[in-house]
Structures are given as structure tokens and as C-alpha cells.
Structure 1
Amino acid sequence: MKSGFSEIEGRGGNASVVYTDHSDMNQVKRLFEQIDSENQGQLDILVNNAYAGVPSIASNSGKDFYEQPPEIWDDINNVGLRNHYFCAVYASRMMVKNQRGLIVNVSSAGGIQYFLNVAYGVGKEALD
């Protein structure tokens, strides 16, 4: 990421990373309030790359999808799929107001071939 920031700043732009617990919607909302406040409502690019559920995936490794607990769906997709959507909503409000912006949703080969588990694969496929 730092090389990307260096390139952006080298071209006269501003870039920042704000670490946020994407499982906490209050933190997600505060993230966009902070961006709005610090950048006078200007947001040019949002990269949705957060995903969660590594403990859920690891603890259910090798199990068939029908043997996995329902909580695995929530652990994985509340952060990845659900919060990608809400980050896009908050970002779009600023972008529409400024009549410009780009949202990039980072997917994965896991959305094409479900090699980790079904919940992860469905969430990543939904981003395509």
C-alpha cells in the first residue's frame, strides 16, 4: 500500500489508510465521518478489501459445508459482503455529491472455485 500512496502523493494527491474494525458498524460509520471531515467531503476512491472469518475458516477446515455451523456465514460475510455494501453506501453519498468517485471491490479466485469454504466463496462471488 505504501508504494501506491507514494505514487498518489507524488502526483499531488492525498492518500491515507484508516484501520477500522469492519465487524463494528459504529466504527465503519465513524470512519466515513472522519474521511468527510478531514477531506471536506471529498472521497475519490474506495477500495473494499476487508474480509474476516479466518478463525472460522481455520476451525472448520476440511469439513463439508453441511457440517459447518451457521455462525461461520455471519463471521465471514458480515465483514466482507455486508460491510462492503455499507462502505459503498457511505462512500457513494460523498461521491455523488461531488459528482465523481470510484469504488473498487476486491474479489478473489475463492469466488470462482470455493477452495476455502462455501460462505467465503459465496461472499467473494457476490462482489464480482
Structure 2
Amino acid sequence: MDFQLQDTVVLVTGASRGLGAAMAVTLAEEGATVVAAARSKDSLDDVAARGQGRISVEVVDMRDETAVSGLVDSVVARHGRIDALVNNAGIAAAGTFAEQDPQVWKDTMTVNVIAPMLLAQAAGRKMIEQGHGRIVNIASTTGVRGKPHLVGYSASKGAVVRMTEALAAEWAAKNVQVNCIAPGAFATDAQKAVLESPDLLQRRVAKIPARRMADAAELMPLVCLLVSASSPFTTGAVFVVDGGESGKL
């Protein structure tokens, strides 16, 4: 399917590795002009090198609210507009809740909730002016079902899900679609410890009805669809992609 992204300017955060890098590269391969944002310039440069000349980079720390607030303006200054935003950047600090430092929660909320909010707000203003736009928030299955030892992460991703739904309703009449993807277990750098341990991998896969972890490529058609103008009536949706894990008892 041709997603017709040739004239689409997309900002992807957390684009230096894992799913974010795959999103940036895939969108560029589909013809989009992509701005890849993350903390690591070297990793971003590697991603840009795979983007057929369609990926530029922005080095930004999602904990820096001032830098985050100016990111959309930087994209617009460079390309004249912003058609889509993919809020992918996130952190997941594991730990025992009763002993967890409140600062861990503050950092998690800053990166996983405040940064996407600031970006959605800034991008949304531009999109409303333009008369169109798409925002894709990347949550997690932990935002749909809570997970032990990831209480802060679960809470933050639950907030992203609710933000998506409320914002979609608020901006639907403005022709700005806001949707959410909640990935499950994907074989990326984020799962390195699991992938490198046969015992951990076996136990993790046993929880998934599909009996395997997913490849990043399996998420890309959905990302492209939601970033494109092909689904203008799809907004406020939460797409769980987890091999059936969150749907079982």
C-alpha cells in the first residue's frame, strides 16, 4: 500500500534506537521528510545515514522542557510546516515501589508525559493553523494493564492513553487526528537483557499467546497508516500490538 507520505513532514522523538529508529527510517523510505530527535547525536547520525537523505536530526533531552518546547518551532523553521508528530521517547525505570525514590517518578513523568504534552501542544497549534495534522503517541501495554516493578512507567503510559483519547475528542473538529499505539514485547535494544538470556526469553515468550516477540518491522505499517492522511476518521484509538498478551485472562 502506498501511504502517500511524499509531502509529509514528520517529527519522531526517541528516534536514535529501537522502535523510534525503525519508525524514522521506515517513514523516510515511504517518502516522508523526517526530523529524528533524541539525546545521542552519534546514534541519530547513524539513523540519518539510513534515511535516503530524508532524515535530519535534532539533539534534545526530553527532560529539558525549554528545549522540548522549542522543538516544533525548529521543525517548522526548517521545513515550513509539521504534518505529523510521533511521540515515541520514553524511559522505564524498574524498581520495588515501596522503596523507589520519588525523583524516579518525577523523571519518568517529565519524559513520558510532560514532554509529549508540550510537543502535542506546540504541534497542535501549528496543525490547527494548517487545517490538518496527525499525532501518534507511543504508549505501552503497561498503560493498558499495570505491571509489577514498573508502577511509575505504567502510570505514565496510562496517562498517555487518556491524553490521547481526550485530545482526540477536543481536536477532531479541527481535522487533527490523535491516536495511540501500545506495543507489547518487541525484539529491540530495550529488551536486550531478555534477548541475551535464554531463560528470561523463554519465560517472557511463554506469557505471549503468539509465543514469540515481535520484530520492529511488524509495527511499521500501522505507524505509516496513522501518520498518513489515509485514515481521517480514525482518532482517539488505542492500538494494542502485543501478540494477544493483554487480551488473555
Sort the TM-score into its range (normalised by shorter chain): 0.7 to 0.9
Report the identity percentage: 28
Larger Rg: 2
Please state which structure has a larger fraction of its residues in helix. Answer: 1
* 8 A Cα contact 2:35 2:75, kept in partner: no
Note the residue ranges of structure 2 that are not aligned, 5 or more in a row: 1-23, 39-59, 162-249
Q: 1:3 aligns with which of 14, 26, 39?
A: 26
* 8 A Cα contact 2:146 2:154, kept in partner: yes
Deviations 1:8-53 (A, max 9, x none): x2xxx4222133211001211231221121122x11110111112x
Structure with greater contact order relative to length (CA < 8 Å, sep ≥ 6): 1
Q: TM-score, normalised by structure 2?
A: 0.44
Secondary structure of the 2:85 match is strand
Q: Distance in 1 between matches of 2:104 and 2:63?
A: 14
Secondary structure of the 1:22 match is coil
Q: 2:151 aligns with which of 95, 118, 121?
A: 118
Q: Distance in 2 between matches of 1:69 and 1:79?
A: 16
* 8 A Cα contact 1:5 1:16, kept in partner: no
How do 1:26-45 and structure 2 match up within 5 A? 26-40=66-80, 42-45=81-84
Note the residue ranges of structure 1 that are not aligned, 5 or more in a row: none
Cα RMSD (Å): 1.5
Equivalent pairs counted in the alignment come to 116
Q: TM-score, normalised by structure 1?
A: 0.82
After TM superposition, the runs of 4+ consecutive aligned structure 1 residues lying more than 3 A away are: none
Secondary structure of the 1:85 match is helix
Amino acid at match of 1:4: L
* 8 A Cα contact 2:85 2:135, kept in partner: yes
Please state which structure has a larger fraction of its residues in strand. Answer: 2
